[in-house]
Amino acid sequence: MSIRKPVIGVMGPGKTELHTEPVEKHVELATELGKQIASHGWFLLTGGRNLGVMDAACRGAKSAGGTTIGILPGPDALDSSDAIDIPIITGMGSARNNVNALSSTVLIAVGMGPGTAAEVALALKARKPVVLLATQPEAEKFFTSLDASLVHVASDVESAIVHVKALLAAQSEATS
Amino acid sequence: MSIRKPVIGVMGPGKTELHTEPVEKHVELATELGKQIASHGWFLLTGGRNLGVMDAACRGAKSAGGTTIGILPGPDALDSSDAIDIPIITGMGSARNNVNALSSTVLIAVGMGPGTAAEVALALKARKPVVLLATQPEAEKFFTSLDASLVHVASDVESAIVHVKALLAAQSEATS
Amino acid sequence: MSIRKPVIGVMGPGKTELHTEPVEKHVELATELGKQIASHGWFLLTGGRNLGVMDAACRGAKSAGGTTIGILPGPDALDSSDAIDIPIITGMGSARNNVNALSSTVLIAVGMGPGTAAEVALALKARKPVVLLATQPEAEKFFTSLDASLVHVASDVESAIVHVKALLAAQSEATS
Amino acid sequence: MSIRKPVIGVMGPGKTELHTEPVEKHVELATELGKQIASHGWFLLTGGRNLGVMDAACRGAKSAGGTTIGILPGPDALDSSDAIDIPIITGMGSARNNVNALSSTVLIAVGMGPGTAAEVALALKARKPVVLLATQPEAEKFFTSLDASLVHVASDVESAIVHVKALLAAQSEATS
């Protein structure tokens, strides 16, 4: 197991959740984040749909030669992002958000919405480290109040990647 | 379906999540809330375990002659509250939090922790109304920022029940 | 827990699965079985939809004053049987078949189809007793080959109920 | 989506289910099957644990340079096969068997037990083609009685692979 590649989860709103804020910012960040994840040789895991942050992260990862895993909520792959290599079809709706949380070595939220909030909360429940990238201050304060030891805040992709590296190094040390 | 009794979900931390805040307050509130739910002739639905808020709410409901449903995370009923009439055994861990959210006509959070936060977020994702009872200001601000139209804040049991009645009346009107 | 009412699961094809065999026979058996379950003071648990065996069993139970629980596969209760008192909304499709299996003290299959076969198999996996009522010989032979100690065959409702009583008595003895 | 690699599911008993029959035969078949799946450039998906058929198939696939995906039932990867590249951690027990069924383009059962039977039944429920390799005659007769159009019987690895190729070709034609 020591040579298994880390699985980095990138979560964030689909277009349908982004009522009030500019989608372009989070889509740009997610694209760059996906590229960086692939460049570091990590697997990228997302919610798999052809929307918003999850689609953008996968496209970024593919542009850098990465491998992408999509945990789909529906009963088939019809709404899957084209940039998913491995569609996992759960048919369990938003209960699949817990699969996203459990399967990610580190979970990064890019922006925020109800589904993303559930994924962050389920990650904390499972004692998984979380990086909040460009989320609103209310989200940072709330999740930090739930568990300050597991929540890390980043304002750009570079610092998000620095957090991931440190978290992977700490975990590797803990299990060796 | 018009004569089916409403199912009111009461979510809140088990003992293991209450690191920093007094458990007694939330347990007292949950007990009284369970009583009131039973007195109004509604079903009570909780996470079912013999811990914290979920156990207290069920004990309150049983003391007032109510019927209690527990959506258990484990593969058997061994950790079920004795005050559960109907144990639903999911064996799916925290993914069962989505069953709690979907099965509740209105969901009330008493206190807050990672599991409760996931339930509130999943309820909002499914467009279900939520009442936050005695949760910290960070939680109120965050969930209101996600969807102000679905989130209602209450500081005591009486006002939580007022919210539930109004929400049930509005829903009944919408479907009639 | 000793005074909790047993939950008897009744599984069977919806109309959509009954390609080749007469639906009337299984619907009649399920109706009578539901009545008997209610008369014995047990809870009835089904897949909850307004179709075939699950609907018929619930109607039978309600006609005898019973309480019915439906574990629904969809994200809402729109396709629920009117004869369900307590709809549990899972939103997890056929993965909810495992909730049916785990939540039933004894599981009775009336007729057979792919979904029912999954429920029987999942019950056996969880070491739950199963009664096959009016299933085809191929089903009886197959499930008996998987675990003869847990599979009981009945050709009419009366003998199915005799099996349930004996299984509940054996379980009560084992846990007392 | 047209260039996405097919995901071939291989299901079969873990050691704990193999009470009465020689495990060696199914382990040998699963190892060879995993090799063949990898040689054809397909992804291998299994239940992921370090036991019986699922472990053997993954080891076979890795020996031929393949990529392996494990859909794990537990809340972590502690019981994962070392030959899994991508562990998907579901934490949902046997409800994950439906994820196995939905995520497999074709599902192959090697040997039989209650968990494997659930996977085959759930695949048929979702209208997925199934190949039964070296299962007992009772299983072949039963599943064929459920849906003869989706169930294919093979007695050796070579004929199982012939079935998979034909099923993939038929599917490719249907979607092009």
How many domains would you assign to chain B? Answer: 1
**Residue A76: what pLDDT?**
97
Is the pLDDT at A115 greater than 70, yes or no?
A: yes
Asked if C93's CB is within 8 angstroms of D93's CB, the reply is no
Q: Which residue of A has its CA nearest to D72?
A: A103
Residue D2 lies in a domain: no
Q: Which residue of D has its CA nearest to C116?
A: D121
Sign of the alpha-carbon torsion through A110, A123, A88, D149: negative
End-to-end CA separation in angstroms for chain D: 11
Residues A137-164, mean pLDDT to the nearest whole number: 97
Work out the burial of residue D143: count CB atoms within 10 Å of its CB; fewer than 13 is exposed, 13-18 middle, 19 or more buried: buried
Which B residues 33-72 touch D at CB under 8 Å?
none
DSSP of D114-136, one letter per residue?
A: HHHHHHHHHHHHTT--EEEES--
Number of helices (H) and strands (E) in chain D: give both, helices first. Answer: 6, 7
Interface mutation target, options C71, C92, C99, chain A, most CBs of A under 10 Å:
C92
Helix axes B137-146, B114-125, angle to 10 degrees: 20
Exposure of D61 in the CB half-sphere (CA atoms within 13 A): 32
Is B14 in contact with B54 (CB distance < 8 Å)?
yes
Distance CA D50, CA D37 (A): 19
C16 at D interface, C-beta within 8 A: no
Residues A111-137, mean pLDDT to the nearest whole number: 97
Q: What is the CATH number of the domain that holds C86?
A: 3.40.50.450
A88 at D interface, C-beta within 8 A: yes
DSSP of chain B, one letter per residue?
A: -TTSPPEEEEE---GGG-SSS-HHHHHHHHHHHHHHHHHTT-EEEE--BSSHHHHHHHHHHHHTT--EEEEESSSSSTTB-TT-SEEEE---GGGHHHHHHHH-SEEEEES--HHHHHHHHHHHHTT--EEEES--HHHHHHHHHH-TTTEEEESSHHHHHHHHHHHHHHHHHHH-
Residues C16-31, mean pLDDT to the nearest whole number: 73
DSSP 8-state symbol, D80: B
Is the pLDDT at B9 greater than 90, yes or no?
A: yes
Q: Which residues pair with A70 in a beta bridge?
A: A46, A87
Work out the burial of residue C144: count CB atoms within 10 Å of its CB; fewer than 13 is exposed, 13-18 middle, 19 or more buried: middle
C89 at A interface, C-beta within 8 A: no
**Residue D122: what pLDDT?**
98
Residue B96 lies in a domain: yes
Is the pLDDT at A20 greater than 50, yes or no?
A: no
**Residue A173: what pLDDT?**
84
Distance CA A61, CA B121 (A): 28
Closest CA of chain D from A16, distance in Å = 23
| 3-class secondary structure, A102 | helix
Is the pLDDT at B30 greater than 60, yes or no?
A: yes
**Residue C27: what pLDDT?**
94
Residue C2 lies in a domain: no
Distance CA D23, CA B127 (A): 50
Residues D11-29, mean pLDDT to the nearest whole number: 74
Residues D75-80, mean pLDDT to the nearest whole number: 96
Mean pLDDT of chain B: 93
**Residue C126: what pLDDT?**
97
Is the pLDDT at D18 greater than 70, yes or no?
A: no
Q: Which two tokens stand for residue D123?
A: 């695949």
**Residue D173: what pLDDT?**
84
**Residue B21: what pLDDT?**
53
Residue B123 lies in a domain: yes
B16 at A interface, C-beta within 8 A: no
Is C14 in contact with C94 (CB distance < 8 Å)?
no
Confidence of residue B16 (pLDDT cuts 50, 70, 90): low
Percent of chain D scored above 70 by pLDDT?
94
Interface mutation target, options B49, B96, B97, chain A, most CBs of A under 10 Å:
B97
**Residue C173: what pLDDT?**
84
Is the pLDDT at B147 greater than 80, yes or no?
A: yes
Residues A13-27, mean pLDDT to the nearest whole number: 68
**Residue C130: what pLDDT?**
98
Asked if C99's CB is within 8 angstroms of B88's CB, the reply is yes
Is C97 in contact with D121 (CB distance < 8 Å)?
no
Residues B84-140: pLDDT tens digits?
A: 999 999 999 999 999 999 999 999 999 999 999 999 999 999 999 999 999 999 999
Asked if C118's CB is within 8 angstroms of D125's CB, the reply is yes
Which amino acid type is present at position C114?
A: P
Closest CA to A143 of A161, A171, A119: A119
Distance CA A116, CA C44 (A): 37
**Residue D16: what pLDDT?**
52
Closest CA to D120 of C142, B96, C46, C10: C142
Mean pLDDT of chain C: 93
**Residue A21: what pLDDT?**
53
Q: Which residue of D has its CA nearest to A82?
A: D1
Asked if A121's CB is within 8 angstroms of B115's CB, the reply is yes
CA distances from A77 to A72, B3, D145 (A): 7, 38, 28
Confidence of residue D21 (pLDDT cuts 50, 70, 90): low
Residue C126 lies in a domain: yes
**Residue C8: what pLDDT?**
98
Chain B partners (3+ C-beta pairs within 8 A): A, C, D
Number of CB pairs < 8 Å for C and D?
86
Is the pLDDT at B1 greater than 60, yes or no?
A: no
Confidence of residue B22 (pLDDT cuts 50, 70, 90): very low
Work out the burial of residue D158: count CB atoms within 10 Å of its CB; fewer than 13 is exposed, 13-18 middle, 19 or more buried: exposed
A103 neighbourhood in chain D, CB within 8 Å: 87-90
Is the pLDDT at C160 greater than 90, yes or no?
A: yes
Closest CA to B107 of B92, B94, B124: B124
Work out the burial of residue C145: count CB atoms within 10 Å of its CB; fewer than 13 is exposed, 13-18 middle, 19 or more buried: middle
Work out the burial of residue A159: count CB atoms within 10 Å of its CB; fewer than 13 is exposed, 13-18 middle, 19 or more buried: middle
Closest CA of chain B from C76, distance in Å = 7
**Residue C1: what pLDDT?**
43
C91 neighbourhood in chain A, CB within 8 Å: 92-95
**Residue C15: what pLDDT?**
66
Q: Which residues pair with D153 in a beta bridge?
A: D132
Residues D66-71, mean pLDDT to the nearest whole number: 98
Residue B147 lies in a domain: yes
Confidence of residue B54 (pLDDT cuts 50, 70, 90): very high
Confidence of residue A172 (pLDDT cuts 50, 70, 90): confident
Residue C1 lies in a domain: no
Residue B137 lies in a domain: yes
C123 sits in which H/E element: helix C114-125
Backbone angles phi, psi at A33, to 5 degrees: -65, -45
Is the pLDDT at C110 greater than 90, yes or no?
A: yes
For chain B, give the longest Cα–Cα distance: 45
Domain that holds residue B12: 7-175
Percent of chain B scored above 90 by pLDDT?
89
Residues C14-22, mean pLDDT to the nearest whole number: 55
